[in-house]
Structure 1
């Protein structure tokens, strides 16, 4: 499979020259234990009822959020009879309608991460999540679009799942979490990236995964450590994809870094270029400096944005990253939700607002 985009999928209609595109909305099933059962075969329903899920690190306990932010969600987003993100009517009332969201990308964070030890189960859950997104969110709400949830450790199954969804315009990206078992530049993942590029899907690389909550130096003592360490996983993935030559092979492939911040990418590009200048013979096949690929093949969601003490300095940061590389993200219904009316304290020009809130998303997701 090459990097040539296949026959175009059905046209994805959004959008006008007004309104907001949101690259990060988190849906949830009405019941975490049984919400996906209607989309699973009897074999896997029975399996989950008897055994549950076995994570990749069986003894790794979660260290995610304190009790004051249960499920990492804002308290006013809890509907009657389900967790935050499970009630489409409430999502409309709290976010889609008042903020004039005309295009929103679903980023499921439930049911599985990057797969456990049982890949057959994880693949079944991924397919169920994909069917569930369409049936319960996208079909009844034409402003929403789905992500193709996959299990990267089974490239054969992933390619089949991408092929299955490729001509369905309701899917707009392939979703992979930052916490993979190995960095995504490794060759065993190349068929997945080839399939995504072939069908014009960007990779939506969202913070998270099933590899526990270790930092690069070991287990953290505090939530603050774990939360910030997610950024480092994104940096690792960027370095791997660039240095392993993915974008020389697949120049049309786009990667969206979601919920990991973005200001750090400036220094990362500078430092990679310096190392490449001194040790470039190690990666002699690279055709360009690393910052070239960072600038051409990566996008960044804005939540959580690194707000400088002087709000106007945000314009300087975004200029270095590239105004055409940034996608507004709300992270609804999480506790650190960014309301588009108040997310950026800097005075941003109307031209740049149009890119940030709408035009960049239309481009990378190929919205007409």
Structure 2
């Protein structure tokens, strides 16, 4: 069964499926804002870094720097057909259109921004990367959060320069226009390594969840066996990134060391999580001597510290398997997301093909995000 692709504006008068009354007023945990043009960040750069950008430019760790993430995404940068503004700007760059197609249409309570622009996290020159992170953060406030307070920013950092990342986190901490810290999942090393602990500690100390949105430009191949030939291979391989993240954070003892750390896995699916935890638990029983810093089973750490977003929702052949998967993860650890304005985004009215219990729907569509991000 294929998920519906929104290549046209949804009809608010359409008859929703069972339980779709919950779709109004939801909290969207994955909204992508884009720039109208390459100079949108210039007002937020110092003279030094503006000159650097204009003369030298960025040096991403991605090998094919002039293309979309390899293999190239679908034509139109993977966007909804109807999300292109009439003026030819990039989808997701027009706030009135975002309001019309998402925020106002569904009376969205909050939309959590997930900028995939600026290249701060994948920049080889970490000083320039830090400057771009600051510029993207200021851009979020000026272009999105201040004009529409329903939109909440994600603090961008370059995790390969620890001091600058911590400074940016502490600078934004307490600003309720930001809801979380965004860290690219593909760094130079797995995120659980000790070199990244001070950054994760700063997030936890400031009660800021860490958003790990799939993708990133580490310079490494997207799979453990090298670069795939097709985007059809690339897209499922994102799950491997998420599995590596969870395994690294658990096995390195991050959650034992930072007990109040909150991790959100965005746009990486979630049906794989139970099987990964079963395997981790099985091997932990035999390998406890190697990881004495783990005081509990891996699945316990995951249950306590990891949240997932819904899009893309895997669709098993037996719909009841979806309920079992959500039950294992915990309906209090799942949060709804649309992935607007991407081509495979989810319409909240039709996202789940099987009726959910009413209390689960309230948690997934609203309550879990409201509690995690303190949105009262």
Q: TM-score, normalised by structure 1?
A: 0.92
Could you say what secondary structure the match of 2:332 adopts? Answer: helix
d(CA) in 2 for partners of 1:18, 1:307: 23
Q: Does the 8 Å contact 2:266/2:309 carry over to 1?
A: yes
1:34-93 Cα distance to aligned partner (Å, 9 max, x none):
11111111222222222221112445664244453x122111111124101110000000
* 2:20 alignment partner in structure 1: none
Structure 2 equivalent of residue 5 of structure 1:
none
Deviation for aligned residue 1:340: 0.4
Quick one: which of 185, 192, 195 aligns to 1:178? 185
Structure 2 CA distance for partners of 1:66 and 1:257, relative to 1, 3 Å = closer
Aligned to 1:11: none
Decide whether aligned partners of structure 1 residues 240 and 300 sit closer, same or farther in structure 2, where only a CA change above 3 A counts: same
Deviation sequence 1:194-236 (CA, Å, 0-9, x none): 1000010000010011124531111111111111111111111
Measure the CA separation in 2 of the matches of 1:301 and 1:274: 26
CA displacement, residues 230-277 of structure 1 (integer Å, 9 cap, x when unaligned): 111111111111111111121111100000000100000000001100
Q: Where does the alignment leave 5 or more consecutive residues of structure 2 unmatched?
A: 1-22
Q: 2:79 aligns with which of 73, 84, 88?
A: 73
Equivalent residue, structure 1, for 2:315? 307
Find out whether 1:55 has 2:24 as its counterpart. no
- 1:140-289 equivalences under 5 Å are 140-212=147-219, 213-289=221-297
Q: Structure 1 segments of 4 or more deviating over 4 A?
A: 57-61
- Classify the secondary structure of the residue corresponding to 1:228: helix
- How far does residue 117 in structure 1 lie from its aligned partner after superposition? 1.4
Secondary structure of the 1:101 match is: coil
**Deviation per residue, 1:159-183 (Å, 9 max, x gap):** 0000100010111101011111111
Query: Is the CA contact (8 Å cut-off) linking 1:105 and 1:147 kept in structure 2?
Result: yes
Indicate the larger mover: 288-297 or 110-119: 110-119
The corresponding residue for 1:137 is: 144
Secondary structure of residue in 2 paired with 1:117: coil
Instruction: Return the alpha-carbon distance in structure 2 between the equivalents of residues 248 and 211 of structure 1.
Output: 27
Match of 2:28 in 1: 22
Distance 2:237 2:208 in 1: 27
User: Aligned equivalents of 1:18 and 1:67: distance in 2?
Assistant: 30
2:39: which partner in 1?
A: 34
* Residues 67 and 367 (structure 1), Cα distance of their counterparts in 2 relative to 1, 3 Å cut: closer
1:292-303 matches, cutoff 5 A:
292-303=300-311
Name stretches of at least 5 consecutive residues in structure 1 with no aligned partner: 1-16
Give yes or no for the alignment of 1:350 onto 2:358.
Answer: yes
Deviation at residue 364 of structure 1 after TM alignment: 1.1
Which residue number corresponds to residue 370 of structure 2?
362
Q: Does the 8 A contact of 1:113 with 1:177 survive in 2?
A: no
Distance, in Å, in 2 between the alignment partners of 1:111 and 1:205 is 16
SS of match in other structure, 1:105: strand
Aligned-residue CA RMSD in angstroms? Answer: 1.5
DSSP 3-state at the match of 1:55: coil
Q: Confirm or deny: 8 A CA contact 2:210 2:262 kept in the other structure.
A: yes
- Cα distance change of structure 1 residues 76 and 351 upon mapping to structure 2, 3 Å threshold: same
Q: Partners of 1:240 and 1:309 in 2: how far apart?
A: 31
Secondary structure class of the residue paired with 1:204:
strand
Counterpart Cα distance in 1 of 2:218 and 2:261: 26
1:310 Cα deviation after fit: 2.8
Verify: 1:45 aligned to 2:53, yes or no: no
Contact 1:115/1:153 (<8 A) preserved: no
Change (3 A) 1:294 1:214: same
Return the alpha-carbon distance in structure 2 between the equivalents of residues 177 and 226 of structure 1.
17
TM superposition score normalised by structure 2: 0.90
